Structure 1
């Protein structure tokens, strides 16, 4: 049954229209009456009619004004204008507002029924189309997770096919001008840890995926082994350092959620922001490397926090990508297996000529060394001097691989030391002013989170404790001069509040500034 609202200030007109419709189309309509435009708007809100007969000329709110108000709220309603000849000119304006048809007064029965039947048929057709659209949307909703899985797997496995990629991006309605990847890895040290992960794996993935999507618009990959990836779009206007900090905050939320809900440790690696799908693929490689970095300083690491600092070139990922990825993560077993696979293929392809194979191996190692080690080509070549036979070649190649891993470990430690030294130098120049950990972290191009952990590891002190120690040492030196007042010393040591300075001084030294100066006096 349809609902028909009849809006007319003449009661006889309303009753006449109702009588004609009920006689010609019995049992098909529920009738609602409105004597003016205000009442018509109110009834449209309350009763949600399917059709409205609207008179143009009514007291108070006019018919066209009521049409405009109703259509702004209920675009699905089908309005038929009822107008006298004197107001026919208004019909054109009404049609522009979304009115479906019009009837001239006095309404003829056949014309009235024809208009209603036509509008009812169109309404049913719209319902049918909406039903089909909803069915298609429901099917599409079921397919979208599969499409998301496919696209994320293509990015992770580096098997992008241009046609498939365009299709999937269009299907998912994704606009990736730029974005970054995040790799979530659940480490396991013992068999019981692995068994626990396996027991909650499905629920873990579903809950993490749902939680991530509630936080940010993103794509989440399936869980492969103990890892999964999250791909996050970012606005093109965002600043690089801000994007990095935001990504780390997002990572902290995911880590807290997983560890609180499932009691599982979670390591997270975050890649740099890249443009388009190719940029996401590269960001994933970086995130994978950061998530498996061998240092235990932090369990949320940004790629830029572990490489490309101090103007040093980062680890390239565009050549021998999978081997480089394993080397970068210092996953010795994986790197060894991948390298030996390459070596065996070279050996098989060179036949019995070990010199040809040796040249190929040396070329590969030099190519890797350019990107991950400071080992010179001459050192590599000299290492293979005098190598004869495939057994000796295998041994020499394996030794070079291990040396590269050792070089990377030493270089990472050296870079961290160099960055901390730069930070200490910066602090030494600014500790007398209003310095913050965030300012220092930005100066050395590290995220505050990573900087805080690394600084504590290398200095044995927190940032605040380190700055406090410098200020108190400076205050002690200044207290040796009796010409300076305590207030002057307070400001010169980097404090703005003399009372606070006194409390910190006593907490650090065990005595007040006055007692310290008295102790210095002969």
Structure 2
């Protein structure tokens, strides 16, 4: 039911309009009556009517002045002006105020009903659009946390593909690509601490997210193992050193909140400011590295501070890439050798400091995991975090590297096998036509050179020999059926010249097609 306010200084006019509308549109309106402009303003404030019929000429506050006051407080009010005279100046001013329509006294029944039906249709359409918008917002509000989780895990586990990451960033309305990572690492020194963390994990996640979102506008990851990560934008124009100090202050604030509310020990690591998705992943690795530094002088540590004060070099990017390249070539001896060199370098830089070494190795393997598309980041973190000494860490890392190489080989063989099966199916369906090795290679989207090598490797014979054998086997079957002539069989199995077919058949079987038929008979 809608509320209709009728403002007119003549009671007979108000009552006549109500009676007309109530009779034509029963159970549609609740009516409010105002005898002057001041009362109309009061009733509009109190009753919040859906529609207002306002007389232009009334004693005291006149119609247009009352409309101006009502519109200032309720911009969406739908007002129809009623007047005994067709005043152009009034009409012009009313339109400027947002008046929807005009009715001339005495208003005819059809005109009044048409105006009301139009206003109702407009209101219903607006309500439907608003409901759709709210439903869309509700769906989006359910999707946004999933998009945030996915993007943060991409950055943590180093499998952020440019297009996918950009799409997720678009959904989250992220306008930045330069920032840094902050890692919160919850202590698990004793079974009791670990049990307390597991119980409070969801509550901790909600508390951290509620604390940082308003001030940092960052991406918050889910809890992975005993850690969660924040990816924080770098404000333009702010000096890097100032941002470092601000980041440390935020880390200290979060550490204090978690320890006070949940009674858990928290270490915070902060990475360098970097650009792009790969840069944010690297900042995360830096944050993980310094987060593992349990024996340092502070609980909140910035990578730049630690690197500057210790002079410990990080693993050069080109060394990481050479190790990844060896992995992708399935060269297990080279992978083992390069990894041994890198871990020896890290051990020399981290004498007697195992947690920091473990953080470096986890970061390195996360990078490699992304490169080989292993998709085992969470399991990797949990597996290596459980290692308690350098020997078990080295052994576990090498075991995982070996598993990746085996997986890559198996994946490559499956891919080759799939390509070959498609090629063989294509040939079996088309061998009676004039097909070539080049056509088949194009069908499976390989170059003729590579396809010929792969075909020989997988089948043990070259393409032309395989095609010939297929055709001759089919010719032998058709000869045995005795339903076709030798000439018809020649064309049926893909040869255009019966003499050439006969020569190929004899070379393959040892006798001519006619001799073969006689032998069968």
- Give yes or no for TM over 0.5: yes
1:363-413 deviations in Å (ceiling 9; x for gaps): x58xxxxxxxxxxxxxxxxxxxxxxxxxxxx6x77644532434999xxxx
**1:349 equivalent in structure 2:** 331
Distance 2:55 2:69 in 1: 15
Distance 2:296 2:85 in 1: 86
Distance 1:317 1:148, change over 3 A: farther
Query: What's the secondary structure of 1:230's corresponding residue?
Result: strand
Structure 1 position 14 matched with structure 2 position 14: yes
**2:347 equivalent in structure 1:** 402
Residue pair 1:4, 1:52 contacting (<8 A) in 2 also: yes
**2:469 equivalent in structure 1:** none
**2:442 equivalent in structure 1:** none
**1:122 equivalent in structure 2:** 122
**1:71 equivalent in structure 2:** 71
**2:297 equivalent in structure 1:** 297
Distance 1:103 1:214, change over 3 A: same
Residue pair 2:160, 2:277 contacting (<8 A) in 1 also: no
**1:218 equivalent in structure 2:** 218
**1:188 equivalent in structure 2:** 188
1:96 deviates by 3.9
Distance 1:97 1:250, change over 3 A: farther
1:199 deviates by 2.4
Distance 2:166 2:138 in 1: 22
1:309 deviates by 6.7
Distance 1:58 1:254, change over 3 A: farther
Residue pair 2:148, 2:220 contacting (<8 A) in 1 also: yes
Q: Counterparts in 2 of 1:116-515, with a 5 A limit?
A: 116-176=116-176, 178-275=178-275, 277=277, 279-308=279-308, 315=314, 318-319=317-318, 345=327, 349=331, 357=334, 361=337, 399-406=344-351
Q: Counterparts in 2 of 1:75-86, with a 5 A limit?
A: 75-86=75-86
1:446-468 deviations in Å (ceiling 9; x for gaps): xxxxxxxxxxxxxxxxxxxxxxx
1:206-260 deviations in Å (ceiling 9; x for gaps): 2322333355433211000000012233532434343333322222222122112
Gap runs ≥5 in structure 1: 324-338, 352-356, 366-393, 410-522
Distance 1:408 1:58, change over 3 A: farther
**1:94 equivalent in structure 2:** 94
1:350 deviates by 7.1
Query: What's the secondary structure of 1:222's corresponding residue?
Result: coil
Distance 1:86 1:303, change over 3 A: same
Distance 1:322 1:345, change over 3 A: closer
**1:24 equivalent in structure 2:** 24
1:400-429 deviations in Å (ceiling 9; x for gaps): 4532434999xxxxxxxxxxxxxxxxxxxx
Distance 2:92 2:144 in 1: 44
Residue pair 1:151, 1:168 contacting (<8 A) in 2 also: yes
1:193 deviates by 2.4
Distance 1:350 1:282, change over 3 A: closer
Distance 1:319 1:61, change over 3 A: farther
Distance 1:345 1:231, change over 3 A: closer
Distance 1:301 1:18, change over 3 A: same
Gap runs ≥5 in structure 2: 355-521
1:6 deviates by 1.7
Distance 2:128 2:175 in 1: 32
Distance 1:292 1:83, change over 3 A: farther
1:143 deviates by 1.4
Distance 1:71 1:30 in 2: 21
- Matched pairs, number: 356
Residue pair 2:162, 2:277 contacting (<8 A) in 1 also: no
Query: What's the secondary structure of 2:296's corresponding residue?
Result: coil
Residue pair 1:178, 1:236 contacting (<8 A) in 2 also: no
- Which is worse superposed, 166-175 or 297-306? 166-175
Distance 1:241 1:287 in 2: 17
Distance 1:343 1:125 in 2: 60
Query: What's the secondary structure of 2:223's corresponding residue?
Result: coil
Distance 1:135 1:274 in 2: 38
Distance 1:256 1:111, change over 3 A: same
Distance 1:400 1:244, change over 3 A: closer
Distance 2:26 2:280 in 1: 63
1:38 deviates by 3.6
Distance 1:117 1:345 in 2: 73
1:123 deviates by 1.1
